[in-house]
């Protein structure tokens, strides 16, 4: 498992390139981002972007020393769904 570091004051974009030899002619028709655990002072999604083959979310906040799972679930043009996730560790940098 890869863990990405994030400063609690940073608001940075995380992206998933679903088209990199994966979609085979399909496109993304829906995208939902979720953070676990969902808590008041935790990491939150403050913006979302998307195209036919790529999704991105701006993530902000988080409590130093904690781990968060950030997941992106997409719906494809043929009705299938898939999900990718990353783990963030919050550290003062």
Predicted confidence (pLDDT) at residue 31 exceeds the cutoff of 80:
yes
The pLDDT, as a whole number, for residue 70 is 97
The model scores a pTM over 0.75: yes
Tell which residue, 70, 17, 22, has the closest CA to residue 44.
70
- How many domains does the chain contain in total? 1
pLDDT score of 23 more than 80: yes
The CATH number of the domain holding residue 20 is 2.60.40
Distance CA 80, CA 77 (A): 7
* pLDDT value for 92: 92
Nearest one of 32, 93, 16 to 62, comparing CA atoms: 93
Contacts by 81-84 with C-beta closer than 8 Å and gap 24+?
A: 82/18, 84/16
CB within 8 A of 53, min separation 6: which ones?
A: 17, 18, 19, 23, 27, 28
pLDDT band at 2 (very low <50, low <70, confident <90, very high): confident
Q: What is the pLDDT of residue 74?
A: 96
Q: Which residues contact 75 (CB under 8 A, 6 or more apart)?
A: 28, 29, 30, 31, 81
pLDDT in tens, 38-68: 999 999 999 999 999 999 999 999 999 999 9
Task: Give residue 8's domain range.
Answer: 3-90
């Amino acid at each position: 498992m890869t863990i990405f570091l994030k400063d609690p004051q940073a608001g940075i974009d995380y992206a998933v390139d679903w088209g990199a030899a994966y979609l085979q002619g399909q496109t993304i028709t829906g995208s939902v981002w979720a953070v676990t655990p969902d808590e008041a002072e935790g990491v939150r999604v403050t913006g979302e972007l998307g195209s036919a083959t790529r999704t991105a979310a701006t993530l902000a906040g988080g409590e130093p020393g904690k781990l968060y799972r950030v997941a992106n679930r997409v719906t494809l043009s043929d009705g299938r769904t898939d999900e990718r996730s990353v783990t963030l560790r919050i550290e003062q940098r």
